[in-house]
Amino acid sequence: MDKIDILLTLYSIVSGLGLSRLIQGAAEMIEGRDRLKFYWLHTSWLALVFMAHVVSWFALMRFSTGAHWTVFNATGALCMPILLYLLSDLLVPRAVSEEPVSLRNHYYRNFRWLTGLLGTFVVLGTPCRPHRRSPC
């Protein structure tokens, strides 16, 4: 078993936890739809985070050949599914109670954390490339 196989397995486990939280929460919201006030922006974020889970997993595969792995690199790579798990957990409201729940209120209560975590995800996911000097 290669280093990348071990890392991909661990990455898949953490990413799978985030996806299952997202899917389980969506199922709970569908089940409690009578007590939910849906909000389009919240639903858009659910779709965005779902796609981020899938895309980030595929993006990790680019390192399957020829990558130099260190503990620092592996930790950085594992921060990605952890951030996505946190986003997934914050997006889904806790078990829908008998009282009406506004997804708009839920979204704006967590808005700063959501944007901060997504911004961190984007920054960590941006590949570092050396700057070229202009020939001029």
Q: Tell me, yes or no, whether 134 lies in a domain.
A: no
Domain that residue 87 falls in: 3-125
% of the chain with per-residue pLDDT over 70: 85
Asked, for residue 130, whether it belongs to a domain, the answer is no
What is the model's pTM? 0.81
User: Domain count of the chain?
Assistant: 1
Strand partners, 36: 101
Answer yes or no: is 131 within a domain.
no
CA distance 119 to 29: 26
Q: Residue 113: enclosing H or E segment and its boundaries?
A: helix 111-125
> Could you tell me the pLDDT band of residue 1, with boundaries at 50, 70 and 90?
low
* Residue-wise pLDDT tens digits, 27-65: 988 888 888 888 999 999 999 999 999 888 888 777 666
